[in-house]
Amino acid sequence: SEDRVFNFAAGPAILPENVLKKAQSELYNYRGSGMSVMEMSHRGKEFLSIIQKAESDLRALLEIPDEYAVLFLQGGATTQFAAIPLNLCTPDDPVDFLVTGSWGDKAFKEAQKYSQPKLIWSGKPEKYTKIPSFEDLEQTPDAKYLHICANETIHGVEFKNYPTPKNATGLLVADMSSNFCSKPVDVSKFGVIYAGAQKNVGPSGVTIVIIRKDLIGNAQKTTPVMLDYKIHAENNSLYNTPPCFGIYMCGLVFEDLLEQGGLKEVEKKNKKKAEILYNAIDESNGFFRCPVEKSVRSLMNVPFTLEKSELEAEFVKEAAKEKMVQLKGHRSVGGMRASIYNAMPLAGVETLVAFMKDFQARHA
Ligand code: PMP
């Protein structure tokens, strides 16, 4: 609507307008309860129905098999960098990391405290613009799992298919923070999927973990209670006070995604938006550039630079004047980045592309 901007932030990020309006309409007095969701007991019947519906809608969206638990946790995806090795390994166990960007690298470094991670491939020498071919990977036979970051938010590198773990357990673990619920995923290929909510499915403060149930219950002895999946699974994510309002918001987003026709439909829209933007970059005769190899370009985070890098600050400033905000690239890579999550309307991408063409015409 008129008074909203197109928010291209990487996260916290844009949320669907109808979800915000619904939350607004229910904020003061949630469905006749006489209070807001923020004020209710997490053990009361209203909140129990909120969290149960959020879980069942997420299960429907991702077609999550029964043998997987869904946990609504706190601490961000960063906390999972520690929780995963703590729950799946002993301190002496090897685990494999395929690192395609700086989030995967952070996960690899944190895992060093609780396991013996091996870096089986890193995209760092090529500035994180590629994903290797899987056949050539040398995996560790006794590794407890293979970890990937399905979409690198800063570098804009996204797995389009997944490596088969060639280790004793056959487990693949994925950080899906920045492409969660952006497309269908075959959950049965993964031991664990985890994601912070604040990009595609809600506000910050909620972290979703989808884990095969047989992997729960072997946490290292020193694992803090808040990081032990068994505790959270046994208590249906209500061991302690959960991020109630955030879970409610995620639930509204899941409902909205189902109403849109589910993740196949959502993926179609995301592909179209990304195609328009990448085409604008590729057809600019080098005025705009995207460093990422074409086959692994992210549908969610589109990094780009200007050939005349001295114009980048002006680009960002002028775009903001036209209500397109948060286009500055991550401080570690510079340039620009347009995050175009599920909630970014096609009109937002079209407006950006029209602005890019106009900017080029004025500065070529
Ligand atoms: N992984 C990825 C892919 C991310 O994009 C982020 C956040 N930008 C994180 C992990 C860290 O998430 P959090 O801030 O929720 O801890």
Summarised one tens digit per residue, pLDDT across range 334-354 is 999 999 999 999 999 999 999
Q: How far is CA 255 from CA 53, 59, 83, 87, 260, in A?
A: 9, 11, 29, 31, 9
The pLDDT confidence band at residue 332, using thresholds 50, 70 and 90, is confident
Instruction: Band the pLDDT of 46: cuts 50, 70, 90.
Output: very high
What backbone phi and psi angles, to 5 degrees, belong to 317? -65, -45
For residue 1, pLDDT over 80 is answered with: no
166 burial (CB, 10 Å; 0-12 / 13-18 / 19+) is middle
Say which residue the tokens 């060093």 belong to: 112
Tally of CB atoms within 10 A around 221: 6
Residue with tokens 């399905």: 150
pLDDT tens by residue, 223-275: 999 999 999 999 999 999 999 999 999 999 999 999 999 999 999 999 999 99
pLDDT digits (tens, 9 = 90+) for 265-311: 999 999 999 999 999 999 999 999 999 999 999 999 999 999 999 99
- The ipTM estimated for the assembled molecules is 0.99
**Mean per-residue pLDDT over the chain, rounded:** 97
Q: How confident is the model at residue 173 (pLDDT cuts 50, 70, 90)?
A: very high
Look at residues 93, 97, 206 and name the one whose alpha carbon lies nearest to residue 147.
97
Query: Which pairs count as long-range contacts for 307-312, CB under 8 Å and 24+ apart, including other chains?
Result: 308/363, 309/334, 309/335, 311/363, 312/336
Distance CA 104, CA 136 (A): 19
Contact 81 CB / ligand 1 (< 6 Å): no
Q: Is the CB of 149 under 6 A from ligand 1?
A: yes
User: How many angstroms is it from 77 CA to the middle of ligand 1?
Assistant: 5
pLDDT at 317: 97
- Which amino acid type is present at position 74? Q
Catalytic residues: 103, 175, 199
Cα angle value 225/230/234 (rounded, 5°): 110
Q: If you average pLDDT over residues 82-108, what whole number do you get? A: 98
Q: Find out whether the beta carbon of 11 lies less than 6 Å from any atom of ligand 1.
A: yes
CB 113 within 8 A of CB 140: no
Q: How far apart are CA 335 and CA 156, in angstroms?
A: 13
Of 19, 11, 42, 68, the C-alpha closest to 255 is 19
Cα 246 to middle of ligand 1, angstroms: 16
Q: Is 228 in the pocket of ligand 1 (CB under 6 A)?
A: no
Task: Report whether residue 102 contacts ligand 1, using a CB cutoff of 6 Å.
Answer: no
**75 CA: nearest ligand 1 atom:** 16
What is the pTM for the complete model shown?
Answer: 0.98
Report the separation in Å between the CA atom of 154 and the middle of ligand 1, taken as the mean of its atom positions: 10
> Could you tell me the distance, in angstroms and rounded to a whole number, from the CA of residue 120 to the centre of ligand 1?
22
The H-assigned helical ranges of the chain are 17-27, 45-62, 76-88, 102-111, 229-234, 244-259, 263-282, 312-321, 346-363
Quick check: 168 pLDDT over 90? no
Contact 30, 46 (CB under 8 A): yes
110 lines ligand 1 (CB under 6 A): no
Atom of ligand 1 minimally distant from the CA of 152: 3
